[in-house]
Amino acid sequence: MKRIGILTSGGDSPGMNAAIRAAVRCGIEAGMEVYGIYRGYEGLLDGEIRQLNRSSVGDILQRGGTMLKTARSERFRTEEGQEKAMQMLETFGIEGLIIVGGDGSLRGGLDLSNRGIKVMGLPGTIDNDLAYTDYTIGFDTAVTTVLEAISKIRDTSSSHERTTIIEVMGRHCGDIALYAGLTGGAEAVLVPEIEFNLNEVCQRIVIGANRGKQHSLIIKAEGVDISSQDLVEAIERKTGRETKLVVLSYLQRGGSPTLRDRLLATQCASKAVELLHADSESKAIGTVNGQITALPLQEAIEQEREVNREMFNLIRVLSK
């Protein structure tokens, strides 16, 4: 393979830049030309494609976001869009593609792979919602950001003896809430995968307050089936305690990537280049039990995620 491309797609995540840097420099080291495709599949359709050299990816390792920009592309979802994308790849002579993104982005990669190009998928999303890998690139940084926020919110919640609902990202996957809740000492964690009982949550708050707890922190993933504002009102009504809402939103998607995210991104990208250079079949790269793995793309995408119930139960035990 002489020429490969890389794109980032879907919601950005800290560590995407580390992946781009490693892909470009490892690709050049292997004797290949590496092309950056800007604005994800949108940019691919529009031919926003430029060759990258070692210096193009200088000084990005420590930055959040993605220097290639990203987008969610409706046009690419159609047969016509995918055909056009294949033509564009042919026009630029790109023989292999590295795609850094979440579930939808890797599915897009599979569509292209089925049309004949070799694709290496890297798990780039803060959501940690891909079953085939232990962690996704950006998750560790996002949870670290949430933890920093929790400790600040805890200070003020304590002073005012309030309950605070902290809404974090995760439409279908509650891992950010789960990991931040366990390591940040939340009273309760609400995730989309597990039904919650409002009375039980309120009981915890009241029992905690009666035994002298200064504050209660509830971490709620955005995908839980009740609006955060409705939850605030319901809890305030049922517990009689002042309840506030903090929505962390995009704050948790930015920031300099942690050690874990830089390492995961760098090692996955290096593996992707190695596989493209060897003309391997399309793969999804990630880690299983801490080891870098490459599974057939389709097989990886089809794996079903399960919420970590042990972790969920542990939060209940620790916050009693």
Site of tokens 């879907």? 10
Question: Measured from the CB atom, is 72 or 75 closer to ligand F6P?
Answer: 72
Question: Residues 103, 127, 129, 140: which is the catalytic one?
Answer: 127
Of residues 94 through 113, those in contact with ligand F6P by CB under 6 A are: 102
- The nearest distance, CB 16 to ligand F6P, in angstroms, is 11
Single out the residue of 16, 126, 190, 235 in contact with ligand F6P (rule: CB under 6 A).
Answer: 126
Counting every residue written for the chain, the total comes to 320
Single out the residue of 170, 181, 257, 286 in contact with ligand F6P (rule: CB under 6 A).
Answer: 170
Site size with ligand F6P, rule: CB under 6 A? 12
Pairing label, strands 283-288, 291-296: antiparallel
- The nearest distance, CB 188 to ligand F6P, in angstroms, is 20
Strand partners, 291: 288
Q: What x-and-dash track marks residues 3-22 binding ligand F6P by CB under 6 A?
A: -------xx-----------
Distance CA 127, CA 175 (A): 7
Distance CA 174, CA 193 (A): 7
Single out the residue of 42, 103, 127, 261 in contact with ligand F6P (rule: CB under 6 A).
Answer: 127
Residue 71 in the binding site for ligand F6P (CB under 6 A): no
Of residues 219 through 248, those in contact with ligand F6P by CB under 6 A are: 222
Residue 124 in the binding site for ligand F6P (CB under 6 A): no
Distance CA 200, CA 212 (A): 18
For 314, how many CA atoms within 13 A lie in the half-sphere containing its CB? 12
Q: By the 8 A CB rule, do 170 and 176 touch?
A: yes
- The nearest distance, CB 72 to ligand F6P, in angstroms, is 6
127 has catalytic annotation: yes
Residue 152 in the binding site for ligand F6P (CB under 6 A): no
Residue 255 in the binding site for ligand F6P (CB under 6 A): no
Single out the residue of 137, 169, 205, 273 in contact with ligand F6P (rule: CB under 6 A).
Answer: 169
Question: Measured from the CB atom, is 34 or 219 closer to ligand F6P?
Answer: 219
Segment near ligand F6P (CB under 6 A); pick from 146-154, 164-172, 190-198, 274-282: 164-172
Residue 171 in the binding site for ligand F6P (CB under 6 A): yes
Residue 117 in the binding site for ligand F6P (CB under 6 A): no
Site of tokens 């023989």? 95
Helix (H, G, I), strand (E, B) or coil at 18: helix
Scanning 240-278, the segments in alpha helix (DSSP H) are 259-277
Question: Which tokens hold the place of 175?
Answer: 């891992």
Distance CA 25, CA 29 (A): 6
The 3-state secondary structure of 111-151 reads HHHHCCCEEEEEEECCCCCCCCCCCCECHHHHHHHHHHHHH
Ramachandran bin of 99, using left for φ above 0, alpha for ψ from -120 to 50, beta for the remaining angles: beta
Quick one: which of 182, 154, 155 has its CA closest to 166?
A: 154
Which residue is closest to ligand F6P by CB? 11
Segment near ligand F6P (CB under 6 A); pick from 30-38, 107-115, 125-133, 186-194: 125-133
Footprint on this chain of ligand F6P (rule: CB under 6 A): 10-11, 72, 102, 125-127, 169-171, 222, 253
Mind telling me the catalytic residues?
A: 127
